Amino acid sequence: DQQVKQNSPSLSVQEGRISILNCDYTNSMFDYFLWYKKYPAEGPTFLISISSIKDKNEDGRFTVFLNKSAKHLSLHIVPSQPGDSAVYFCAALQNTGNQFYFGTGTSLTVIP
Amino acid sequence: DAGITQSPRHKVTETGTPVTLRCHQTENHRYMYWYRQDPGHGLRLIHYSYGVKDTDKGEVSDGYSVSRSKTEDFLLTLESATSSQTSVYFCAITDRLNTGELFFGEGSRLTVL
**Contact indicator for A51, A31 with CB cutoff of 8 Å:** yes
The closest alpha carbon to A100, from B108, B92, B40, belongs to B92
Q: How much of chain B, in percent, has pLDDT values that exceed 70?
A: 95
Instruction: Please give the C-alpha separations between residue A97 and each of A12, B10, B48, B97, in angstroms, as whole numbers.
Output: 35, 32, 12, 9
- Please say if the pLDDT value at position A36 is more than 80: yes
A103 close to A5: Cβ distance less than 8 angstroms: yes
Domain count, chain A: 1
pLDDT tens, residue by residue, A55-104: 999 999 999 999 999 999 999 999 999 999 999 999 999 877 788 999 99
Min Cα distance A55 → chain B (Å) is 16
* Alpha-carbon span A33 to A100, nearest angstrom: 9
- The mean pLDDT value for B61-90 works out to 97
pLDDT average, residue stretch B98-112: 89
Task: Categorize the per-residue pLDDT at B1 as very low, low, confident or very high, splitting at 50, 70 and 90.
Answer: low
The whole-angstrom separation of Cα A36 and Cα A101 is 12
pLDDT of residue A95: 73
Q: What is the mean pLDDT of chain A?
A: 94
Rounded mean pLDDT of B60-80? 96
End-to-end CA distance of chain B: 34
Is there a contact between B45 and B87 (Cβ–Cβ < 8 Å)?
Answer: no
Contact A93, A36 (CB under 8 A): no
Question: Out of A6, A46, A51, whose CB is closest to B102?
Answer: A46
**CB spacing of B42 vs A49 below 8 angstroms:** no
Let me know: does A8 contact A105? Beta carbons within 8 Å.
no
Owning domain of residue B88: 4-112
Domain count, chain B: 1
Which CATH number covers residue A96? 2.60.40.10
Query: Domain limits at A18?
Result: 4-111
- Whether A98 and chain B come into contact, CB under 8 Å, resolves to yes
